[in-house]
Amino acid sequence: MAPAAVRKSRRAPRGATKSQIRSEESALGLRLPEGLRRRLTRLNGGSLFALGDVWYLFPIGAQLSSARRLATSISRETAQFRAEAGAGFANELVAVADNAAGDYLVVDASSRVYVWRPRDATMEEVKVDDWFAEEWEPSASRVRAEATLSVEGALEGLASGDHRAVVIDAPGPDFYVQFSTDGQRVAGEAIGSANMPRLVAYHVDPRLRAKLPPLGWSPPTEAEGHGNWTISWPLNDWDAGKAASLAVRTLEEAYGVDPGDLMIGEAPARGGRQKEL
């Protein structure tokens, strides 16, 4: 079965526009530091090396399409930070980054920057000299985790009935994993070698036969007729998080796709059409 026609967007947009930043600032109720604003126009997210640590900047969520959202955004992480801080002063602060160890970089209305450490409930004012310092890149495990959360967010639309199908793929060879529902079951498909160009299939097929069965995929059968690997669950026994992990692992381990390159498409619950490979 060919993947459904979808709306697609990249997982990591390169930069936010000034109007998107202003819109986010209006919603948050303060202006972000000037250096951070310039950084976000160049790269909406990414890593920052500062204060002897690696920080992961939260993106401007307003620049993403309604078809898809990143796992994190400044607005979402600020809400989480305020809930964790549990103090009145936190409502005047905005979370702009974390270090994957529970600490936050937060800013106030005067563009002062602080480190908030929830483990001991302390906050220290700091100075970020260079918002463009990117000597360190996100670890492979973090990229994989972010990709999994992004896929999970899209897959939740299947259970809610918002989407008919979700396709996860990447640029280059048309490798994809697709999940769809008929309202009773969720069916998963991973592209089989029969649906690939012959030369690509020749190189990929042995790896698929070695890697996919241990992950739970069943090989293509003549009865199904579409040539893809399959897996399915009853809708009431389906876990979007586990399915997201399966999709990312499948594309990375069996097809050699970098989780950082994944794209997600969502077909609406009604009115979708099929595209040809």
Asked whether the predicted pLDDT for residue 206 surpasses 90, the reply is yes
* Across 180-209, average pLDDT: 92
Q: How far apart are CA 153 and CA 157, in angstroms?
A: 7
pTM for this predicted structure: 0.52
Could you tell me which residues come within 8 angstroms of residue 97 by beta carbon, excluding any fewer than 6 positions away?
A: 48, 55, 56, 57, 58, 104, 105
pLDDT band at 243 (very low <50, low <70, confident <90, very high): very high
Q: In the prediction, which pLDDT does 223 show? A: 65
Q: Are 215 and 246 in contact (CB under 8 A)?
A: yes
Q: How far apart are CA 198 and CA 99, in angstroms?
A: 45
Higher pLDDT, 239 or 54: 239
The widest CA-to-CA distance across the chain, in whole angstroms, is 66
Least confident of 18-27, 68-77, 94-103, 162-171: 68-77
Q: In the prediction, which pLDDT does 166 show? A: 92
Interior CA angle at 246 toward 240 and 252, to 5°? 135
Query: What are the tokens at 105?
Result: 């970089």
Q: In the prediction, which pLDDT does 14 show? A: 66
Asked whether the predicted pLDDT for residue 251 surpasses 90, the reply is yes
Asked whether the predicted pLDDT for residue 146 surpasses 80, the reply is yes
Asked whether the predicted pLDDT for residue 177 surpasses 90, the reply is yes
Query: What are the tokens at 229?
Result: 């690997």
The mean pLDDT value of the chain amounts to 81
Query: The sheet that has 7-10: what strands, in order across it?
Result: 7-10, 263-268, 163-169, 176-181, 185-190, 229-234
Pairing of strands 122-126, 53-57: unpaired
211: which strand partners? none
On the 0-12 / 13-18 / 19+ scale of CB atoms within 10 A, 38 is middle
Higher pLDDT, 273 or 204: 204
Q: What is the DSSP letter of 57?
A: E
263: which strand partners? 10, 169
Q: What tens digit of pLDDT does each residue of 61-84 get?
A: 743 433 333 457 898 888 888 888
Q: Are 17 and 41 in contact (CB under 8 A)?
A: yes
Token pair 């794209």 is found at: 263
Q: In the prediction, which pLDDT does 1 show? A: 54
